Amino acid sequence: MCTCATPVGCGNLNKSIIMEISEFEIKEDIVTICVKAASFPAGIKDAYDKLHRLVGSDKPRQLYGISKMSAGNIVYYAGVNKMSGDDTFGLDEYIIPKGKYLATLFKWEGNEHEFGRIFNELMQQPGVKPGTIGVEQYYVTPDEARLMVQLAGTL
């Protein structure tokens, strides 16, 4: 039996990855540079591979995944926080809006197949903004990502 305050997918997820859902605030817009996946979900790995090839790892960066609905399809962006000099890469920018989000921490490595289920559970919670984006913030801890959806009232 899961003892989480608000279990994510309780009963179906590996209990070692279940975390509680809580409110999380992004205090300032986060400007990212990103690579759009050619398809979802099959193109996600290629998008991250291209991002890493272009941007490299010489600067400390926050890694993000952003998903949104467009014409009935999920559009996915692999991104990192934008830094000085990044315009030379010629990548698209995506701004993750400041505001309040519903979030959970997730031990994602080896559990990538659970992302959809967790985001579906987050989107079914009360107060979630209709048409919300999904945000993945990687390496919040060495082995966890923060998965977030916007709460109503967020721009």
CATH number at residue 40: 3.20.80.10
Residue of 152, 138, 120 lying closest to 21 (CA atoms): 120
Q: Which residue has the higher pLDDT, 141 or 26?
A: 26
Q: Domain range for residue 52?
A: 15-150
Asked if residue 155 belongs to a domain, the reply is no
Q: Total structural domains in the chain?
A: 1
Q: How many helices (H) and strands (E) does the chain have?
A: 2, 8
Give burial (CB, 10 Å; 0-12/13-18/19+) of 134.
buried
Residue 91 domain flag: yes
Residue 1 is predicted with a pLDDT of 27
Full-prediction pTM beyond 0.75? yes
Which pLDDT belongs to residue 153? 80
**Does the residue 7 lie in any domain?**
no
Distance in angstroms (rounded) separating the CA atoms of residues 136 and 148: 6
Domain assignment present for residue 3? The answer is no
Q: How confident is the model at residue 59 (pLDDT cuts 50, 70, 90)?
A: confident
